Amino acid sequence: MDIERLQPVSISMLNEFLYCDRRCALHQLDALWQDNAWTVAGTIAHEHADDPGYRQTAEGARVERALPLFADSIALVGKADIVEFRPGDCGREIPLPVDYKLGRRRKWENDDVQVCAQGLCLEEMLGVPVPKGAVYHVKTRRRREILFTDQLRQLTIQTVENVRALLSGDAIPPAVLRPQCEGCSLHGVCVPELAGHPHILETAYGRLFRTDG
């Protein structure tokens, strides 16, 4: 693999891709974006990085905020909301990345991959093992730990490759109506309901370029 020529992938894209590959393509390739209550809530959550509930859970740790991250070996870049450093063996500090989310745990695996990607970057940057990370849910003031298992690490690296493949092409994956569509801010431009009715799309395409009025 020619690492120097790899297109960089940002950690936030991994989250977006696992939520829905079509959404990731519409955003990253077609520059389509719309906010809704969920996306605004996500932005607000990061502004709570000094939440008092969080400060309790981080007691005894040295805390770095908005830490830039990179893993050159897989051309991955991003930023951690928070990284806690706690004493480990041989006087070394063990980092633990913490990502802020406003709501409760969602059903998809994208949050776990996002935090694992932060862990992979920290391992490469600092040369220390990073066995786990956490998501801090601002609304419930709950912290959920995420173990970086081999399976999660493999899924994370595979997702980096899948996102890079998506970015290097120009194909937008087809719409598939799924539970995620309900909270998707691009629902209005994607209209996944039409995917189950291809004849409606064919008729619309047919009329698009007809000139006989």
Window of 58-66, 112-120, 122-130, 186-194 that interacts with ligand SF4 by CB under 6 A: 186-194
User: What region, left, alpha or beta, does residue 57 occupy, with left being phi > 0 and alpha being psi -120 to 50 degrees?
Assistant: alpha
Which residue, among 11, 28, 12, 98, has the nearest Cα to 63 in the 3D structure?
A: 98
CB of 169 to ligand SF4, least distance (A): 17
Give CA–CA dist 10/73, Å, rounded: 14
Least Å distance, CB 139 to ligand SF4, is 23
Say how many residues touch ligand SF4, by CB under 6 A: 13
Between 78 and 192, whose beta carbon lies closer to ligand SF4? Answer: 192
Torsion of CA 162, 129, 131, 43, to 10 degrees: -60
**Residue 176 interacts with ligand SF4 (CB under 6 A): yes or no:** yes
Q: Is 23 in the site for ligand SF4 (CB under 6 A)?
A: yes
Q: Which is nearer to ligand SF4, 26 or 76 (CB)?
A: 26
Instruction: Decide: 180 and 35 in contact? Cβ < 8 Å.
Output: no
Cβ–Cβ < 8 Å for 71, 79: no
> CA-CA distance, 130 to 97, in Å (whole number)?
9
Q: How far is the CB of 192 from ligand SF4 (least distance, A)?
A: 4
Residues numbered 105-144 forming contacts with ligand SF4, rule: CB under 6 A: none
| Of positions 11, 22, 82, 98, contacts ligand SF4 by CB under 6 A | 22
